[in-house]
Amino acid sequence: MTAPSEATTTTIETETVTAGEPGETRRLRIALVLKTSEGGLWTVPHVDELRSRGHEVIAVLPPAEGRLREALTARGVRVVDSPFGFRFWPTLRTLRGLLGLRRQLRDLRPDVIHYHLYASALAARLATAGMGLCRAHMVAGPLPLESRLVRIAERALVRLDTVTICGSDHTAKLYRRLGRPRSRTPAVPYGVDVESFAPLPPGTRAAVRADLGVDRDMFLAVMVAYVYAPKRLAHRAQGIKGHAVLLDAWRAFHAQNPRSRLLLVGSGFDPAAERYRLELVRRYGLDGDPAISWLPSVPDVRPYYAAADVSVSPSLSENHGAALEASAMGVPCIVSDAGGLPETIDVTTGWLVPAGDAEMLSIALDAAHDEFRRGRLAARRDRARERMVYHFDRRRAATEVADVIERAAAGRLPTRLTRSRPRR
């Protein structure tokens, strides 16, 4: 286990583009392209900020119901069905879908194409090639770039982006290694709703623990994450959220600390992922293990953070993940060194372990349990909350995203970047 230094864990990229006197910003029409109608709710604050500045946002989503479509429709955002299904099989159907998307985007006449998630990026870039539009790609996480095949392709394709907004400093560094200049790769976190994810009333902790059958003096670790099935292009045969790594670590830890419980919250993201989750339940014998509870789906994760003593994010690939929510609620975190996770903690708020290393994760659980037993773990809570408010407030992040899009659309991306606020 390694503890990150103060210098290395405060390297969250908070640079914003500047170009002298900004002048008056014209009203933009922005086409938001996403491969999902269900996920991607983290785009909603960006949409709200852009619309608050007078810009028009039109969402191009798959023709299916989902939480994202519902959230945008409730705000009065125009949502249109994409003629492309965001699958890149080498067939005539794929070509027809891309041509249909091209016609649709041409008819919408946007000033900016704004896209998140890699399949959305591929579709938007290909469908608008040669159209002379501003393209703003916001990268949700580093996973695609962990595939050698994607890195080779992305070295060329990323040049189609006017600006590549990276969701973490880690992802920005990956793109810069591909030759993308710093001025075109500002790093802005998606952030967390620090008003919603805030410490709950003291009675919540006791009530939730009672419902779970966790005694007051028991150590409770929580992992909140969807389960993802193993991917073909990266981290083969392993779920990227690291559930199996945590379950291996928990066996060793719990054998030495029987007054402890593990709570897993989150179902499979899709049918294949749910099958993988059930396979983990069988493989580790969780149905008959009183020390581990797995809640596949809950309406609100906040009470379970409030009940926990530590949050664990053992991902093999990640942007910032659940560590933001947990920390905003004042819960210390154990995180792997995958992706942007090290940016979410410092030595006063959590522990950093090598990704995929169950033994070191078990040692980190021991360290957190020791502080819990000695009554010292609570000292990390206020600092964790403070760090989220300062670095990861999603309102500030949405403002920075809108700033970048406006400047990219106006052709005012700089040759160098300046910091918007000091690091600490």
Q: Is residue 424 part of a domain?
A: no
Query: In this structure, what CATH number is given to the domain that contains residue 321?
Result: 3.40.50.2000
Q: Are residues 14 and 158 in the same domain?
A: yes
Do residues 269 and 226 make contact, with C-beta atoms less than 8 angstroms apart? Answer: yes
Rounded Cα distance between 420 and 248, Å, is: 42
* Sheet containing 350-353, strands listed edge to edge, beginning at the edge strand earlier in sequence: 292-295, 260-265, 219-224, 310-313, 333-336, 350-353
Element (H, E) at 221: strand 219-224
1 occurs within a structural domain: no
Q: Which residues are CB-neighbours of 300 under 8 A, at least 6 positions away?
A: none
For residues 115 and 219, state if they share a domain: no
**Domains identified in the chain, total number:** 2
146, 134: one domain? yes
Report the alpha-carbon distance of residue 133 to residue 109 in Å, rounded.
9
Per-residue pLDDT of the chain (424 residues; tens, 9 = 90+): 544 433 333 333 333 333 334 446 689 999 999 999 998 999 999 999 999 999 999 999 999 999 999 999 999 999 999 999 999 999 999 999 999 999 999 999 999 999 999 999 999 999 999 999 999 999 999 999 999 999 999 999 999 999 999 999 999 999 999 999 999 999 999 999 999 999 999 899 999 999 999 999 999 999 999 999 987 656 667 899 999 999 999 999 999 999 999 999 999 988 999 999 999 999 999 998 999 999 998 999 999 999 999 999 999 999 999 999 999 999 999 999 999 999 999 999 999 999 999 999 999 999 999 999 999 998 999 999 999 999 999 999 999 999 999 999 999 876 554 444 444 4
405 lies in a domain? yes
Residue 410 and residue 370 share a domain = no
Length of the chain as a residue count: 424
- Residue ranges of alpha helices (H) inside 320-378 are 323-328, 358-374
346 in any annotated domain: yes
Residue 5 placed within a domain: no
Q: Which domain holds residue 397?
A: 10-191+393-417
Does the residue 45 lie in any domain?
Answer: yes
Q: Is residue 422 part of a domain?
A: no
Q: Could you tell me if 28 and 129 lie in one domain?
A: yes
Residue spans of alpha helices (H) in 238-377: 243-256, 271-283, 302-307, 323-328, 358-374
Residue 386 and residue 251 in one domain: yes
Does one domain contain both 82 and 129? Answer: yes
Residue 163 lies in a domain: yes
CB contact at 8 A, 144 and 127 = no
CA 128 to chain centre: 27
pTM, two decimals, is: 0.88
